[in-house]
Structures are given as structure tokens and as C-alpha cells.
């Protein structure tokens, strides 16, 4: 998870963009809606006290007014992300009063995400959990929830939620579900040139060994079973076959970004998730899979009005980045991963992948239905390297070790189950078994 993005105010300026304070009245309160409508269309009379800026949800209901600072917000992650987007659009917006900012947020989903978060992670816990929901094919951010406001800190390594990028690259290269390799519980590159980055430099390191979390001995592992069991040695070997550069490019095309804005780490460990990412990036990359390979820029703000002229609008920006059949094949595998896990599913077509960082330092869960993608991250902002999640108490429950299907998976399942409740049921496009079924040339015999 990227550390929660700092909401940038301007010190010493009378008007600052600030905290998101959830109105406790119903989103359907006509008085509130009439106030917003009149405030956004009429010019306020001259007054020594300027009208405060307001944030609206996708339907035009008030989420908050914007006075103070994001630490006071009911939704600090959302607050800080709004500030970052305003800064990126026009830094002068940070000094203006009277803005009406319409977002893509769905308050029902926002409350579902926050409720799931609060059920498993408490504000006083040393660890922090964050969840983002995004609409596939639109890039619309529907919910941004966190267990507490950490102000700022390091990103969290995404762990094994990175494996589907390599899987997509493998299917694009012509591999099938039951293609695979004989692997053991340890992997070492044969030489420096075993892996090359996108600049063509050799980055393999025979001195470094990779191990599996669960020992299984020497065995034949397929794309399907290697993903289901998150077999590290298999995935590093698979990345070797399809190419490190192509794996990184696939991740970039789907939407993965580093939390600090820098380049993705082009190392042999890439497929095991060393990238420090935030849930917006991870959720959006999975949304691209849900949308059958269609990537959309994450979009939180749809319109900004300041009463002085035409509103600024922000339409979706989307592009096809992956063969739809390849995305369907990945979804087929990830559907099996979710169904065979302790989470089982959410009563709808759904796919997902747990993420576990090295030595239980971070934990993730990322998954999607045809209409909604979500990612949950968990880690210790004091420093995941020095504070692994072993023998810890989180949310009032003791855990010998925290994995992807424990806290993050439970938050994801609770929030997504509530999110789909009462909505129209939709289905994934079935994988092309003629193209991806069975094995091709990497068969057990």
C-alpha cells in the first residue's frame, strides 16, 4: 500500500482545501440536496465569511465540507487523495473557497468498505489497513477506506498479488492452463543473463535463492496449480521463460504503479511482488483484468465548479491493453484460486488473489467481480521490515501470522459481499478452452 497520500493545504492562506467530514444525515435528505444545488448554481452574496467548498458523491449528495485537515475526516484516505488530484489539476484550487467537487464515490460502497475495515482492524492498532474499490471499464473510484489516518509513510510491497501479471504474460505468449515445469522448493538463476531488464541489462543473481512458503518437494507445477498455491519457485521460473521485461510491461499496461511514482523494480523477484504500491494502483490493475483487458486511468473527480465560469470536467480515459481472451484466461484461474481458498467466494462470479510479502511483513487481497474490483492492503507504517505481522493482535484478535486470506481477505469478502447485495447479477466471459485448455509443449511427460 502506498502510504496515504498527503493532502496538500496552503499554510497561512485563509481558505484551504481540507478534511472530509461525513454528514451524519441521510444522503437522500432533500434539504441537503437543495442546499448543494443552490450553492453550486447561485453566486453567494458578498460576505466576510466565504462559502466552504463541498465534496459530492456520484449522485450529487454531500459527502463533506472542506475546512480543517484530513486527520479529522471520517474518510482521511479519500480526503488526501482528493487533495492530490486537485494539486495535479491546478495548485491554485487549493487556495479557493466555494468549490463544488463531484466525485465517483458511491456512498453505499464507501460505508461497506469502511464497515468491513472497522470489523477487522481497529484505529488503535499499530498496523493500518486500506481498501479501494474501482469500477472496471470506467476507472471510477467507488470507495476509499482506511482503518486510521497515518499522515504519511512507506508503501507496502504487494507480495503475491503480482503473480497474475506474469500469468497474463504467459498466456499471451501461448502457454496453457496445464503447461508447467518441474520445480523444487528453491530456485537460483543460472547466471546473470538469466533475467534481463527492459534496457537489456543482465540482472540475474545466482547468489540469491528463492524459497516456497510451503514445502512440497520436487514436483510438476502447472500455471493453474502454481497460481492456486502461490508457488514462488514456479513463478520465478515462469517469469524466466516469458521474460522479465515482458512481465513488467504487462503489469504497467494493466495499471500497476510504484507508490513513490518511480519506475517499477525490474529485478528477478518482480513476480513475487517487491513493488511498493498503494491499493488504487493494485485495484486498478485487477479492474483491467475484470474489464477484459481494458485499462482506464483511475478517476475520482468528475467535475469541479467554482461559480465563476464553465465547470472543469474529467471524462474517462481508457484504452485496450490486453487481448480480451488472455484476460479471460487469467480470470478463469483467479476464479479457481478464490473458490478453492478459505474465503470460498461471495455468492457471485468473482476472482481473487491473496498477497503475502516476505516473512509476513505485508498482506494483501485483490479481486473482482465483472462490475467491481477491490484491493485491501495491511502493514505496519512504523516499518514493515522491522515489524512483521507474526504473533500480533489486530482488531482484538491474536494471529500467529497474518496472510492474504486472513485479515485482508476477510475485509475484502465482507465489503464485496455487501457491495453486490441487491445488484443485478453479471457473469465473467468463460475462458477459451480451445486456446488455453490442457497443455501445449510444457506437459508433465
Q: Please write the tens of the pLDDT for every residue from 115-162.
A: 999 999 999 999 999 999 999 999 999 999 999 886 555 579 999 999
Q: Which pTM was predicted?
A: 0.88
On whether residue 244 sits in a domain, the answer given is yes
Answer whether residue 340 is part of any domain.
yes
Give the pairing type, strands 209-211 and 186-188. antiparallel
Q: Exposure of 199 by Cβ count < 10 A (0-12 exposed, 13-18 middle, 19+ buried)?
A: exposed
Question: Can you tell me the distance from the alpha carbon of 250 to that of 158, in angstroms, rounded to the nearest whole number?
Answer: 16
413 within a domain of the structure (yes/no)? yes
The DSSP output letter for 321 is: -
Q: Is residue 150 part of a domain?
A: no
Q: Is residue 405 part of a domain?
A: yes
Is residue 51 over pLDDT 80?
no
Residue-wise pLDDT for 166-213, tens only, equals 999 999 999 999 999 999 999 999 999 999 999 999 999 999 999 998
pLDDT band at 26 (very low <50, low <70, confident <90, very high): very low
* Tens of pLDDT, residues 232-274: 999 999 999 999 999 999 999 999 999 999 999 999 999 999 9
Asked whether residue 421 carries a pLDDT value surpassing 50, the answer given is: yes
- How many structural domains is the chain composed of? 1
Q: Which residues pair with 390 in a beta bridge?
A: 401
Mean pLDDT of the chain: 87
Mean pLDDT to the nearest integer, 69-98: 85
77 assigned to some structural domain: no
Q: At 415, which CATH number?
A: 3.40.710.10
How sure is the predictor about 93, in pLDDT bands with cuts at 50, 70 and 90?
confident
pLDDT band at residue 8 under the 50/70/90 scheme: very low
End-to-end CA distance of the chain: 42
> Which pLDDT belongs to residue 184?
96
Inside any domain, residue 424: yes
State pLDDT tens for residues 308-342: 777 999 999 999 999 999 999 999 999 999 999 99
Q: Which pLDDT does position 96 carry in this prediction?
A: 81
What DSSP state is assigned to residue 429? P
The cell 513476480 sits on which residue?
Answer: 271
Q: Which residue segment(s) compose the domain that 397 sits in? A: 159-298+317-436
Please tell me the least confidently modeled range out of 15-24, 143-152, 199-208, 216-225: 15-24
Quote the pLDDT of residue 153: 52
pLDDT band, residue 9 (cuts 50/70/90): very low
Q: Is 66 inside any structural domain?
A: no
Q: Identify any residues that bridge with 320 across adjacent strands, giving them in sequence order.
A: 294
Query: Alpha carbon of 372 to those of 139, 145, 291, 426: distances in Å?
Result: 10, 15, 9, 11
Amino acid at each position: 500500500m502506498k502510504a496515504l497520500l498527503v493532502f496538500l493545504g496552503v499554510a497561512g492562506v485563509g481558505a484551504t482545501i481540507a478534511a472530509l467530514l461525513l454528514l451524519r444525515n441521510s444522503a437522500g435528505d432533500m434539504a441537503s440536496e437543495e442546499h448543494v444545488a443552490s450553492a453550486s448554481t447561485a453566486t453567494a452574496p458578498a460576505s466576510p465569511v466565504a462559502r466552504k467548498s463541498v465534496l459530492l458523491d456520484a449522485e450529487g449528495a454531500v459527502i463533506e465540507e472542506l475546512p480543517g485537515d484530513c486527520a479529522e475526516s471520517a474518510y482521511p484516505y479519500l480526503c488526501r487523495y482528493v487533495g492530490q488530484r486537485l494539486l495535479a489539476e491546478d495548485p491554485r484550487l487549493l487556495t479557493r473557497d466555494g468549490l463544488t467537487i463531484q466525485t465517483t464515490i458511491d456512498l453505499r460502497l464507501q460505508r461497506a468498505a469502511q464497515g468491513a475495515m472497522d470489523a477487522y482492524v481497529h484505529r488503535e492498532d499499530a498496523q493500518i489497513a486500506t481498501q479501494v474499490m474501482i469500477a472496471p471499464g470506467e476507472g471510477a473510484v467507488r470507495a476509499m477506506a482506511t482503518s486510521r489516518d497515518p499522515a504519511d509513510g512507506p508503501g507496502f510491497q504487494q507480495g503475491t498479488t503480482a503473480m497474475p501479471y506474469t500469468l497474463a504474460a504467459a498466456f499471451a505468449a501461448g502457454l496453457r492452463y496445464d503447461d508447467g515445469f518441474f520445480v523444487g522448493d528453491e530456485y537460483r538463476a543460472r547466471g546473470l543473463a538469466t533475467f534481463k531488464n527492459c534496457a537489456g541489462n543482465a540482472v540475474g543473481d545466482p547468489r540469491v535463492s528463492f524459497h516456497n512458503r510451503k514445502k512440497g518437494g520436487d514436483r510438476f507445477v502447472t500455471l493453474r496449480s502454481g497460481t492456486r498455491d502461490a508457488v514462488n519457485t514456479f513463478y520465478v521460473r515462469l517469469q524466466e521463460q516469458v521474460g522479465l521485461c515482458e512481465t513488467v510491461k504487462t503489469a504497467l499496461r494493466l495499471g500497476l504503479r510504484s507508490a513513490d511514482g518511480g519506475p517499477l523494480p525490474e529485478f528477478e523477484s518482480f513476480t513475487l511482488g517487491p513493488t511498493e504500491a498503494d491499493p488504487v494502483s493494485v485495484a486498478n490493475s485487477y479492474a483491467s483484468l475484470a474489464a477484459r483487458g481494458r485499462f482506464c486511468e483511475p478517476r475520482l473527480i468528475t467535475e469541479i465548479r467554482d461559480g465563476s465560469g464553465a465547470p472543469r470536467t474529467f471524462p474517462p480515459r481508457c484504452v485496450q491493453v490486453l487481448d480480451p481472451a488472455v484476460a479471460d484466461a487469467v480470470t478463469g484461474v483467479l476464479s479457481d484460486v478464490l473458490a478453492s481458498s478459505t474465503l470460498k467466494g461471495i455468492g457471485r462470479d468473482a476472482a481473487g488473489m491473496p498477497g503475502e510479502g516476505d516473512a509476513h511483513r505485508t498482506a494483501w487481497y485483490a479481486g473482482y467481480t465483472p462490475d467491481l474490483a477491490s484491493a485491501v492492503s495491511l502493514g505496519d507504517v512504523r516499518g514493515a521490515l522491522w515489524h512483521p505481522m507474526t504473533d500480533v493482535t489486530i482488531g482484538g484478535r491474536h494471529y500467529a501470522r497474518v496472510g492474504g486470506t486472513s485479515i485482508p481477505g476477510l475485509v475484502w469478502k465482507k465489503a464485496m459481499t455487501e457491495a453486490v447485495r441487491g445488484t443485478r447479477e453479471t457473469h465473467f466471459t468463460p475462458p477459451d478452452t480451445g486456446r488455453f485448455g490442457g497443455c501445449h509443449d510444457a506437459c508433465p511427460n
